[in-house]
Structure 1
Amino acid sequence: MACSHKNTIKVTNTSEDVCPDCVEQGSSWVHLRMCMICGYVGCCDSSPNKHARAHFEESHHPIIRSVEPGEEWRWCYIDELYMRP
């Protein structure tokens, strides 16, 4: 099965190395994820605030990627699919 939203990707990289929403709240995060539609960086579902998922639920931007060093995978929330670049 292939992701049906790959054609929506507009942003592939970021220099962000923090979750800005967590920093603003004085909270911590586990891993970072970047929205590949608008470039928003948020914390993962293992983090207390789950900002990346909250961004998806608000924006409906379907594809995120890991911005952790050495990780290149992508995830489509709608198709529930892991992808390699």
Structure 2
Amino acid sequence: MTLSIDGTELSARGSLNGQAPRCEHVDISPGAERGLPQCGGCLVLGLSWTRLLVCLTCGWVACSDDSPGTHAREHYRETDHPVVAALAPETAWRWCYVHERTV
């Protein structure tokens, strides 16, 4: 066990460099096949999206929180599927709704 100067166990606070502990939800995501590159919820409502996210549990594609519909977050609330990734192939960005942080 490693303690900080104030006696707090460091493993409870994160790693030594101040980063958050690894998110275990990334490990349980099966990497499902992605759906079509569109937000079905936005299409039904006539909204446009800013960015698309894909659910790593089931492959559902929906708009991000910076889009008017926030359908990816709505999908999380309905299903408890914890991790989404940016649909854009040039990025490795992923978000865990449980921990409310990038992973």
TM-score by length of 2: 0.72
Equivalent in 78, 82, 85 of residue 102 of structure 2 = 82
After TM superposition, the structure 1 stretch with the greater mean CA deviation from structure 2, 56-65 or 3-12, is: 3-12
Structure 1 residue 14 displacement after superposition: 2.2
Report what 1:55 is aligned to. 75
Report what 2:64 is aligned to. 44
Instruction: Trace 1:12-23 onto structure 2 (pairs within 5 A).
Output: 13-14=33-34, 16-23=36-43
Structure 1 residue 15 displacement after superposition: 5.5
Larger radius of gyration: 2
When the two structures are aligned, how many residues end up with a matched partner?
A: 83
8 Å Cα contact 2:54-2:85 kept in structure 1: yes
Structure 2 unmatched runs, 5+: 1-20
8 Å Cα contact 1:3-1:81 kept in structure 2: no
1:66 is aligned to 2:94: no
After TM superposition, the structure 1 stretch with the greater mean CA deviation from structure 2, 1-10 or 36-45, is: 1-10
In structure 2, C-alpha distance between the alignment counterparts of 1:15 and 1:57, rounded to whole Å: 19
Question: Per the alignment, in what secondary structure is the counterpart of residue 85 of structure 2?
Answer: strand
Structure 1 residue 42 displacement after superposition: 0.5
Amino acid at match of 1:63: V
After TM superposition, the structure 1 stretch with the greater mean CA deviation from structure 2, 41-50 or 12-21, is: 12-21
The structure richer in strand per residue is 1
Q: CA RMSD in A?
A: 1.5
Amino acid at match of 2:63: C
Q: Percent identity?
A: 36
In structure 1, C-alpha distance between the alignment counterparts of 2:26 and 2:37, rounded to whole Å: 24
